[in-house]
Amino acid sequence: MPNCDWINKLRTVIGAVALSGGLIASTNVRAADYDVGPIHIAQPWARATPKGASSGAGYMTITNNGTTPDRVTCLSSDLSAQCQIHTMTMDNGVMKMRPVEGGLEVKPGETLVLKPSSLHVMLVDLKHPLNKGDTVEATLQFEKAGTVKVAFPVMAIGAAAPGASAGSGTMMEGHGTTMQMNKH
């Protein structure tokens, strides 16, 4: 039955086009994961910054699938003069962030979640504001596992935790102070 055969071929072609279209769409939306030695990095993203902001932040999850602890620092970023890893803690009711001294420890079997109002990659002295749809790259160095360049897709400012804008001025203020102290 030649007719039937032709329809089946057409179906296959349509199916393949639909499938590849779907794959392209999903890779555009989803950020890449990274592996370096036993370290797995998933869902990197950065938050868009308002005009005039001097620093921005990147987030991701870091899992240590190895058997020994490792320590991660941020070496550099393509869109900022400096790159650091910061912790955020409450100090007398004020959120303060500080660079992690000597690298952020990732214990064996542990997954660290870098997210707004918590651990983050700090992009200090941005070359220009981070706009939604941009990608910012940062090179992370693991003491044992080695270095990996991670691309952080920039999400909307609104992708942040609610109420974050109200405290951001104070956070930046505190940030500037700790940066000064860190330079000596």
- Of residues 7 through 36, those in contact with Cu ion by CB under 5 A are none
- Of residues 117 through 156, those in contact with Cu ion by CB under 5 A are 122
Candidates 16-24, 79-87, 103-111, 145-153; binding stretch for Cu ion (CB under 5 A): 79-87
Candidates 25-33, 83-91, 105-113, 126-134; binding stretch for Cu ion (CB under 5 A): 83-91
Per CB under 5 A, does 86 bind Cu ion?
A: yes
Q: What is the largest CA-CA distance in the chain?
A: 83
* Least CB distance to Cu ion at residue 97 (A): 4
Per CB under 5 A, does 96 bind Cu ion?
A: no
Side-chain-side CA neighbours of 179 within 13 Å: the count stands at 16
Is-contact 41 34, C-beta < 8 A?
Answer: yes
* Least CB distance to Cu ion at residue 111 (A): 21
* Least CB distance to Cu ion at residue 86 (A): 3
Per CB under 5 A, does 98 bind Cu ion?
A: no
Candidates 24-32, 35-43, 115-123, 145-153; binding stretch for Cu ion (CB under 5 A): 115-123
SS3 151: strand
- The continuous run of DSSP H or E covering 181 comes out as helix 164-182
Candidates 33-41, 61-69, 116-124, 125-133; binding stretch for Cu ion (CB under 5 A): 116-124
**Other Cβ atoms closer than 10 A to 58:** 28
Where b means 16+ CB within 10 Å and e means fewer, 131-168 reads eeeeebebebbbebbeebebbbbbbebeebeeeeeeeb
Per CB under 5 A, does 97 bind Cu ion?
A: yes
User: Quick one: 145 or 175, whose CB is closer to Cu ion?
Assistant: 175
The CA radius of gyration of the chain, in Å to the nearest whole number, is 21
For residue 109, give every residue at least 6 positions away whose Cβ sits within 8 Å of its Cβ, in sequence order, or none. Answer: 64, 65
Please count the residues of this chain forming the interface with Cu ion, following the rule CB under 5 A: 3
List interacting residues with Cu ion (CB under 5 A): 86, 97, 122
